[in-house]
Amino acid sequence: MRYLPLNPEIFIQNRQRFISRMDKNAIAIFNSNDELPTNGDQLHKFKQNADLFWLTGIEQEDSMLVLFPGNPDPKYREVLVLVRPNELKEKWDGHRLRVHEARAISGIQTIVWLDSLDGMLQPWIHLADTIYLNSNENDRKANSVPVRDYRYAEMMRQRYPMHQFKRSARILKDLRAIKSALEIEVLQKAIDITDNTLRRLLKFIRPGVMEYEIEAEIYHSFLSQRSSGPGYGSIIASGDSARILHYVENNRECKDGDLILMDFGAEYGNYNADLTRTIPVNGKFTRRQKTVYNACLHLHHYAASILKPGISIVDYTEKVGDEATVVFQKIGLLKKSDIKNEDPENRAYRRYLYHGISHHLGIDVHDLGTRTEPIKAGMVFTIEPGIYIEEEQMGIRIENNFWITRNGNKDLMKNIPITVEEIEALMKR
């Protein structure tokens, strides 16, 4: 890992939170993600199962976690399972964790090698009444192959048909949505790296630069600051490409007079920042660009003023839509007749703002959490209104990350340049 060691207390606290929600006399088992092939004998870069990482801090493949708080032997109430280090494999693929290293990362004292787990696990399960198994229940998931969690669940049901099975995901969806102060420290590091990178770009961008050159600067800046790299595919969209929400081709020339929308964020310690800024390629907004940008910034500030405990994302989005309707009329995008005749299921403002305003953020860029239940203190959200005008070939989005507090929220990106004046001043230099 490139990042500095995280505080193991993060994972100790997370396990305690999960165990406190388990049924009496239950055991919980978590698996790492699969290693996925590309072509030939190549593999995609391994990405750890987010739930397993949240509980252990371990990024290594073929890892498992067993939690059995009712185990008669206290030594085996928390067990981290690792693949046994193999000299030949390490010659090809590099170092694998030793016991002392895994203990330092996770705070778990009992380490078991994967090849010896079966003989130990079965007696533990025979003592338990309930088995918690994990699944990916992110509402945005798109599993088209049977991943390890589901294969393992099927095997366990066949092997232990008389046990009661429960879904860990029901608990984790609640717990992972609420970030501890220790988690926020790691997320803030990812945000600070992203801040430094934006400031670098404001000095670098000029007419004639290619979008992929900007992307290369982002990658260089991230890696040089101990980031693992981008938390997601960077969107570097100049001109009319800014209206494509997930534009990732990044292959156009940035032209004088155009705006460029940049949506990127560093990953640090598996936590992800998510920033969007829209800036003028030549360093100076036109009058119209400034008008639309400030309208978007107004929506951003309005959204921040109402994103607080008690409101649901559904209701919050509806309120921002009400404000967008007023703003879009002021800047000439909507007429009174458009608003009067709008379809309640497809409101008039949606022609120019056709995505959500906020999503949960954390280990996953689109992190676990609810849309329909009231927001709670400790959650982290993006706020990212946008205005996309086809007839003007213009797209503007502004995005910061917010930690929900007891009475409101804290802007974790408050130090990142956001106003027209701040952006123009830094680009001028």
Pull the structure tokens for residue 278: 């829209």
Kindly tell me the sign of the dihedral angle through the C-alpha atoms of 97, 12, 266, 146. positive
Top CATH class, 181-428: alpha beta
Q: Provide the strand spans (E) within 168-311.
A: 229-230, 235-238, 259-264, 266-268, 271-272, 275-280
- Tell me: the pLDDT tens digits for 13-49? 999 999 999 999 999 999 999 988 888 888 888 999 9
**What is the pLDDT at residue 409?**
98
**What is the pLDDT at residue 74?**
97
- pTM for this entry: 0.95
Pull the structure tokens for residue 108: 């778990």
- Hey, what long-range contacts does 330-338 have (CB within 8 A, 24 or more apart)? 330/295, 331/291, 331/292, 331/295, 333/387, 333/389
Band (pLDDT 50/70/90 cuts) for residue 93 is confident
- Tell me: the pLDDT tens digits for 219-233? 999 999 999 999 999
Maximum CA extent, the chain: 73
What rounded mean pLDDT belongs to the chain? 96
Band (pLDDT 50/70/90 cuts) for residue 146 is confident
The answer to whether 382 touches 399, Cβ cutoff 8 Å, is yes
Residues 6+ apart with CB under 8 A from 100: none
In the predicted structure, residue 143 carries a pLDDT above the cut 80: no
Crossing angle for the helix pair 9-19 and 168-177, nearest 10 degrees? 130
CA torsion angle 193 304 357 399 (round to 10): -20
Domain ranges across the chain: 9-176, 181-428
**What is the pLDDT at residue 37?**
85
**What is the pLDDT at residue 89?**
84
Average pLDDT, integer, range 271-291: 98
In the predicted structure, residue 1 carries a pLDDT above the cut 90: no
Q: Does domain 9-176 have CATH number 3.40.350.10?
A: yes
**What is the pLDDT at residue 298?**
98
- Tell me: the pLDDT tens digits for 155-212? 999 999 999 999 999 999 999 999 999 999 999 999 999 999 999 999 999 999 999 9
In the predicted structure, residue 370 carries a pLDDT above the cut 90: no
Average pLDDT, integer, range 251-274: 98
Instruction: Count how many Cα atoms sit within 13 Å of the Cα of residue 214 in the half-sphere of its side chain.
Output: 33
**What is the pLDDT at residue 188?**
98
Band (pLDDT 50/70/90 cuts) for residue 371 is confident
**What is the pLDDT at residue 88?**
86
In the predicted structure, residue 326 carries a pLDDT above the cut 80: yes
Average pLDDT, integer, range 309-322: 97
Do 181-428 and 9-176 have the same topology in CATH?
Answer: no
Length of the chain counted residue by residue: 429
In the predicted structure, residue 141 carries a pLDDT above the cut 80: no
Band (pLDDT 50/70/90 cuts) for residue 138 is confident
